[in-house]
Every structure is written in structure tokens, then in C-alpha cells.
A and B are shown apart, each in its own frame.
Chain A
């Protein structure tokens, strides 16, 4: 009976896995899977890579893409200390106000400020980008199926269009974008940034770094979450075993009557 039940449950779990895979597969293209530092239940963010990714974001992406859910102080999660964050945020100009005269004024940024957006509103963003809206990147890895692999594939997916494929003015051919036509020109080129830590800025390196940074931005709690998870689950497994043997002992007289 118990063997049979275990088998059924096992079968059911296997089935569920396929079930979910088939659900996911119904809407997605397959993206080449990368070896991310943050995947798996013990995965952590490669801090050096994420810091380089932040540099790529600052120097390349932030020209068009905002990250309105992040504040400069959040970057402490990437290993920056308070002094560095004060210096970093002070490089940005923040429009604050009103002051005592009722006027808005400009001041240097503070760690508590949210990331400065490149455009004041969606209309301005669209007007500057030929009608396309560069999405906010705060949650981009969580907001796309298989987000990290998708971003990496997208950033390296710019190819010459096939001869019979008509690419309209202001659009670009990308093998991984749904419909293959994207409003964003290829953002990443070799040596597009000069890395502060001296790493060679190849296209692959930059796209990996910026994806790691954006994965962190989507789930800044991830390392804490997984670490706490290992503790909690270890406890629960031990507790389950204790509960199981307590149950066996308590039930022994009932079973013995047989």
C-alpha cells in the first residue's frame, strides 16, 4: 500500500514538472542557457560582474532605460560602501522642491534618491525613440520568461536580416525578439565601456555583466532568501524525521493490536 502510494505521488510530481514545462513552452522561444552565478539553490551574485554590469548600465543603457524602483542606497547590496554611494549619487542632478520661494530647484543626488530616469515621462521617451518605449529595467529579469537567458540572448541576437526580410526604417533585426523586429539598435559593442577593474570588455562579457546586474536588481533579496531557505528547510527536514518517529512510537500500541 505505502509503496504504491509513494509511487503514485512520485509519478504525480514528475507529471507536474512536465505539465509546467509544457505551459512555459507554449509561449516561449528557447534561449541558449548560460552558466549564471546566481542559478541553483546555492547560487549567489558574482559581485564583481554585477558591479561591471552596473557600469554598463550607467554608461550605455541608462541613456534610454530608467530603473525607477531602485535607489542608489540599494547598491550597497553589490558591495559599495556608504562613502562610495554618497560620491556616486552626488554625480547625479535631482530636481527637488518646492523651496521656500515655492520654486523647484536642482541639487546633487543623495543615496536615498531613486535612480534618475532618462526621460520625464512616457511620452517624452516615445518621442525620443521613434515611438518605441524603452521599458523600465528594475524588474526586467523577473518580468520575462527565463529572464536572464532571454536578456543575454537578446543582447547578442543582433544579426543581419535575411535578404527577403523587410526591416522598416528605425527597426532592427534581432533573432530573439518576438517578431524579430526590435526598436532598440544594438546597444553593446566591443570596448563600448572601459571597465574600471581592467576586465576586457568583449560583447559577451558586457552582456553577461549587465544581465547579472539586472538579475540582482530584479531580486535583490535572492541571496538572503536562498540562505534562509537552506536553514529553514534543514530544520524542517530534521523536524519531519522527529515527528515521523514520534508518530511511529505513539501509534505502536494501536498497530500492535493487529
Chain B
């Protein structure tokens, strides 16, 4: 409360003993932020807000949900038909999962494009990858809860992956299931963990923010802020920008919830789970499809599982794989090209994950999987040796001063 000392004596009394107001002022109000962030920097706050929306709708849904194989499906339908605005809560929660992944995937690719994972933000990045892992576990278990056909068979396929572990595989699967097939104990523990994990995510998000605020946001040109002239206070500049981003996001989200609520789902999940009848194609939710494609691309079961988890694991060591000291790909012409190839590769993998594992799709999956790992393990460490980077600007505000354009990013672009 250094600058704008509160007139309110109660606030002052509390703040003297518990400096919560000083803290909020420091982290949310005067927090110095690079002045040149573009709209891709909106996705962090969007992800946080989506998490809160998911937790709130989830808590209310769980008040009406019954975690039992005989009642789960019907209790969800009761929410849809008889609970006041239950359909709204469920459709927000169901589509919210998809939108959470859309937002987080954009957030991650933003980090890749602008080199946000590089020193000194390695731990910030690693915390983010941990959040992604927990999100995946939470989403997977949440999809099981309505106990439709895809819930049941998806759970069966994914839990069975652990049987690939040598020697103890079968025991691990039995332990996960709490029995000898996916059944009531499985549903109960998945519900329990689905309720628990989001709160662990909240914990990690707080650490993610602590790590972020240590050095502040990266920015589109990827050089550190060199002083007051390069930064602006978070409030009101980025609070209003985040609010605008949020309102656009909410509009698109609402369009999905109200007009196309089942667009991203699978019709089979409106058929109650039946252990005696396997669906023609078992496909996971769209946000798992790239990983599913990697899993199926490897002819060996254990190998497939290792590569699938490896696709995430490689992200943990990314800050040390990419040896280039230049963060932003605006100054790395070759990396920029390969970045877009990686984006295309991931979308291709997603497409292949939805296709049956046969014919040309198998070959394409292998090539795309190969490229994914080639990009991270071979290309990134070697690239600095051959890449001629563009000269960096002197500071964040320098290119603005030297250009007539209104937009910082445009100014940077013109410099090329």
C-alpha cells in the first residue's frame, strides 16, 4: 500500500498485521508487465478462469450425481431433464473441458513460439507441463463418470495400457480397477480423484503464478524489460485487455454450449455402458487424439505407451533441449518454419488418432510421430549451430520509438 495509501482505517489495520492488500496491489495492480504483449498472452488468464468455471459447475453437478454403475447414467440424465438448469450446468462442464484444452494448447504453443520456457522461466514451464498432465488425468476420469459406452470402453482401453509394464503390469491394472474389470470400484475411485485433482491443479496454478511473477511475462520480442519505459502496470492495461479477451472467449464458448453442445462429444456416450458390446470404433475425446495416434503408431504395446508418455515427458526437458539463447522465433527464421511444421504435425496426429489404424493412416502416424520427436530431440539442440538469427532490438520500447506504426508487434515485424 505504498503509493495509494488506503483511507480506510480498517483496511490499514488489517494490512499492517496481514499485508494482504499490499500483496494484491503489488501482484494485480502495479505488477509491471511488458507493454508489447499481443492477444496470445490472453490465454493464461482464460485458462485460469476456465478452471474456476469447471470447479464451480463440477461442484454443483456432483450434488446431483450418483457414482454407481447402476445409477450414474440415469443420474446424469436426471440432471439434464429434471434438475433446474441442470442441462446448462452439464453442457458448460462438458464443453468447458474441450475449451479448457483449446485454451491451454494455444497457451502452450504460444510458449513454444516465443520461447517462454527459456531461462530463467524453466520452472514456470515445468509447472505448466505438470498442470497439463493433471488436466489430462482429470479430463479422462471425468469422461468416465457419465458411464456411457465411450466412458466405459475408453476407461477399459486406457487403463489396460498399464498392462504393458513388464512383470507387474497385470497387477497394476487390477489395482487401478479395484477388481478384475472396469466396474463399480473403478467408477467410485475415478469420481473421487476427479473431484480431488482440480484442487491440486489450483495449487500448481498458484505456484505457476508465483514463478511467473518472479521475472514477469515474456513478450513477443523475447528480450527482458530493461526498465520502467518497457513496462506498464498490470491494472488497468492488462485487466481491461483480459476482460475483452474473456468476453470474446465467453461468446464463442456460449455458442457451443447453447447451440452445438454435443458437437465435440461422441453419440455413443448417450448409450449406457455395456460390457458385453464393444463399440465399432473406440475413440478418445478430441484433445487426446494426437497422443492416441502416437500410441497406435508404435507396433509394440509397451513401446506405444512409452512413446505416448514420452511425448509429454520431452516437454519437461525442453528448456535444456533448445540451446538457442534467443527466445522469440521472430528472430529465428528456421525455428519459426519448424514451429509451424510442428503445429501442422500435431494437428495431423489428431486427425490420424480419429482414423482407424489401417492402411495409409498407420504409415502417416509413424511419420508424424517420428517428426514430433525429431523436432524436440534432434532439431532443437542442433539448430543453433546452423541458424543465422536476426539482430535483436535494443529494448522493448526502442523499436516503438524508431517506428511510425501504432502497433508494437507491427513495428517489430516491419524491422525485419
Asked if B210 is at the interface of the complex by the 8 Å CB criterion, the answer is no
Provide the bound-state CA to CA distance between A246 and B409, in Å.
21
- Asked if A229 meets B258 with Cβ closer than 8 Å, knowing A258-B400, A258-B403, the reply is yes
Closest CB of chain B to A194's CB: distance in Å? 31
Contact of B351 among A19, A220, A225 (CB under 8 A): A19
Question: Which A residues are in CB contact (< 8 Å) with B263?
Answer: 20
Contact of A220 among B39, B81, B286 (CB under 8 A): B81
Contact of A5 among B35, B39, B236 (CB under 8 A): B39
* Interface-side segment among A50-58, A92-100, A139-147, A197-205: A139-147
What are the interface flags for A219-239 relative to B under an 8 Å C-beta threshold, 1 for contact and 0 otherwise? 011001110111011001101
**Interface residue ranges of A17-69 to B (CB < 8 Å):** 19-20, 22-23, 26-27, 41, 69
Question: Which A residues are in CB contact (< 8 Å) with B268?
Answer: 143
- Asked if A143 meets B267 with Cβ closer than 8 Å, knowing A226-B259, A239-B247, A240-B251, the reply is yes
Q: Are B35 and A236 in contact (CB under 8 A)?
A: no
**Interface residue ranges of B222-245 to A (CB < 8 Å):** 232, 236-237, 240-241, 243-244
Provide the bound-state CA to CA distance between A132 and B405, in Å.
71
Q: Are A225 and B354 in contact (CB under 8 A)?
A: no
Closest CB of chain A to B411's CB: distance in Å? 8
Q: Are B77 and A233 in contact (CB under 8 A)?
A: no
Closest CB of chain A to B331's CB: distance in Å? 16
Q: Are B81 and A229 in contact (CB under 8 A)?
A: no
- Asked if A232 meets B244 with Cβ closer than 8 Å, knowing A22-B351, A250-B237, the reply is no
Question: Which A residues are in CB contact (< 8 Å) with B257?
Answer: 229
Asked if B248 is at the interface of the complex by the 8 Å CB criterion, the answer is yes
What are the interface flags for A128-172 relative to B under an 8 Å C-beta threshold, 1 for contact and 0 otherwise? 000000010011001111010000000000000000000000000
Asked if A247 is at the interface of the complex by the 8 Å CB criterion, the answer is yes
Provide the bound-state CA to CA distance between A20 and B56, in Å.
29
Contact of B250 among A15, A139, A230, A236 (CB under 8 A): A236
Question: Secondary structure of the B side of the interface?
Answer: helix
- Asked if A225 meets B403 with Cβ closer than 8 Å, knowing A142-B262, A145-B267, the reply is no
Question: Which B residues are in CB contact (< 8 Å) with A246?
Answer: 240, 243-244
- Nearest residue (CB) in B for A231 is B258
What count of chain A residues pass the 8 Å CB interface test? 47
- Asked if A257 meets B251 with Cβ closer than 8 Å, knowing A240-B244, A250-B240, the reply is no
Q: Are A233 and B258 in contact (CB under 8 A)?
A: yes
Closest CB of chain A to B68's CB: distance in Å? 17
Provide the bound-state CA to CA distance between A192 and B363, in Å.
53
Question: Which B residues are in CB contact (< 8 Å) with A247?
Answer: 240-241, 243-244
What are the interface flags for B200-226 relative to A under an 8 Å C-beta threshold, 1 for contact and 0 otherwise? 000000000000000000000000000
Provide the bound-state CA to CA distance between A72 and B226, in Å.
71
Q: Are A229 and B77 in contact (CB under 8 A)?
A: no
Asked if A11 is at the interface of the complex by the 8 Å CB criterion, the answer is no
Q: Are B254 and A229 in contact (CB under 8 A)?
A: yes
Q: Are A254 and B351 in contact (CB under 8 A)?
A: no
Provide the bound-state CA to CA distance between A221 and B80, in Å.
8
Q: Are B267 and A69 in contact (CB under 8 A)?
A: no
- Asked if A143 meets B258 with Cβ closer than 8 Å, knowing A1-B407, A26-B354, the reply is no
Q: Are A221 and B236 in contact (CB under 8 A)?
A: no
Q: Are B251 and A26 in contact (CB under 8 A)?
A: no
Asked if B415 is at the interface of the complex by the 8 Å CB criterion, the answer is no
Question: Which A residues are in CB contact (< 8 Å) with B267?
Answer: 142-145, 147
- Asked if A27 meets B258 with Cβ closer than 8 Å, knowing A1-B409, A144-B267, the reply is no
Question: Which A residues are in CB contact (< 8 Å) with B49?
Answer: none
Q: Are A23 and B354 in contact (CB under 8 A)?
A: yes
Question: Which B residues are in CB contact (< 8 Å) with A139?
Answer: 77, 270-271
Provide the bound-state CA to CA distance between A226 and B258, in Å.
6
Residue of A142, A220, A258 with highest tally of chain B CB at under 10 A: A258
Question: Which B residues are in CB contact (< 8 Å) with A239?
Answer: 247
Closest CB of chain B to A152's CB: distance in Å? 16
Q: Are B81 and A74 in contact (CB under 8 A)?
A: yes
Asked if B280 is at the interface of the complex by the 8 Å CB criterion, the answer is yes
Q: Are A27 and B280 in contact (CB under 8 A)?
A: yes
Provide the bound-state CA to CA distance between A41 and B241, in Å.
30
- Nearest residue (CB) in B for A228 is B258
Question: Which A residues are in CB contact (< 8 Å) with B403?
Answer: 258
Provide the bound-state CA to CA distance between A147 and B266, in Å.
12
Question: Which A residues are in CB contact (< 8 Å) with B400?
Answer: 257-258
- Nearest residue (CB) in B for A143 is B270
Provide the bound-state CA to CA distance between A225 and B258, in Å.
6
Q: Are A240 and B248 in contact (CB under 8 A)?
A: yes
- Nearest residue (CB) in B for A5 is B39
Question: Which B residues are in CB contact (< 8 Å) with A5?
Answer: 38-39
- Given A26-B355, A218-B270, 9 more A-B residue pairs with CB atoms under 8 Å apart are A5-B38, A142-B262, A142-B270, A226-B259, A236-B251, A240-B248, A246-B244, A257-B400, A258-B411
Would you mind naming 25 contact pairs between A and B with Cβ atoms under 8 Å apart?
A1-B410, A2-B407, A2-B410, A26-B355, A26-B356, A69-B81, A142-B270, A218-B270, A225-B87, A225-B261, A228-B258, A229-B257, A236-B247, A236-B251, A237-B251, A239-B247, A240-B244, A240-B248, A243-B244, A246-B240, A247-B243, A258-B400, A258-B403, A258-B406, A258-B411
The 3 A-B pairs at the shortest CB distance, nearest first, are namely A229-B258, A143-B270, A243-B244
